[in-house]
Amino acid sequence: MYPVRYAAGWAVVHRISRHPFEHSLVPWAAIKAAADHIDPQLAAPLLLALGAQLAVNCDAATLEALRSTNTSDARVALALSRIDDRRAVRELAIKHALLAVDHPFFDNSDDVSTEDTPLPRWPLSSRGRAWLSSLQDGADVESTLLWMMTQRTGLPLIDNGFDPRLLRRKEGVPIMTFAEIFGME
């Protein structure tokens, strides 16, 4: 667990969403390198930050970060969920082969989302909702994706009390190496 790193990741997401003119001040190389981390509490905010980067500058390094070893559809969808314009998200994902053309995340055949959303609204079909519901027991970034999509669609996809910015401690004691103990990964 890396609580300082988690807080730093969420600070970047908060800062660039509130102050978009400071986007160029973000250490993108470090974020791109760490977005593939196996710890979902660290990867989730960094993936959201990468989504903000994709909206502004869809460069090869950002796309490569979304195609790394720990990448999954949920991780890519989390990064894409940070972009406000849903049509632009679909075009970007298809153009760069981030998700399949017929992925349920893009299906809006029968919009079941509500109008009451804290973030710019995204349409979501029942097929897309079923895909998101299938992620509820995931142990990676799925809970953060569900939280983000709850804010985009107005649908109760996750428990109202869930906040990904809060530190979630694991019950078991993880196996650690000396490198991790002393801050070297």
pLDDT (tens, 9 = 90+) of the chain, 185 residues, equals 578 888 999 999 999 999 988 888 999 999 999 999 999 999 999 999 999 999 988 889 999 999 988 899 999 999 999 999 999 999 999 999 999 999 999 988 898 988 888 989 999 999 999 999 999 988 899 999 999 999 999 999 998 888 898 866 656 656 667 676 676 66
Q: For the chain, how many residues are written?
A: 185
Pair of tokens at residue 96: 């760069």
Total-model pTM: 0.87
Query: Does some domain include residue 184?
Result: no
Query: Does some domain include residue 175?
Result: no
Query: Does some domain include residue 125?
Result: yes
Query: Does some domain include residue 107?
Result: yes
Number of domains present in the structure of the chain: 1
52 burial type by CB count under 10 A (0-12 exposed, 13-18 middle, 19+ buried): buried
Query: Does some domain include residue 174?
Result: no
Query: Does some domain include residue 51?
Result: yes
Please say whether the beta carbons of 62 and 78 come within 8 A: no
Calpha distance 161→164 (Å, rounded):
10
Q: Which domain holds residue 70?
A: 3-168
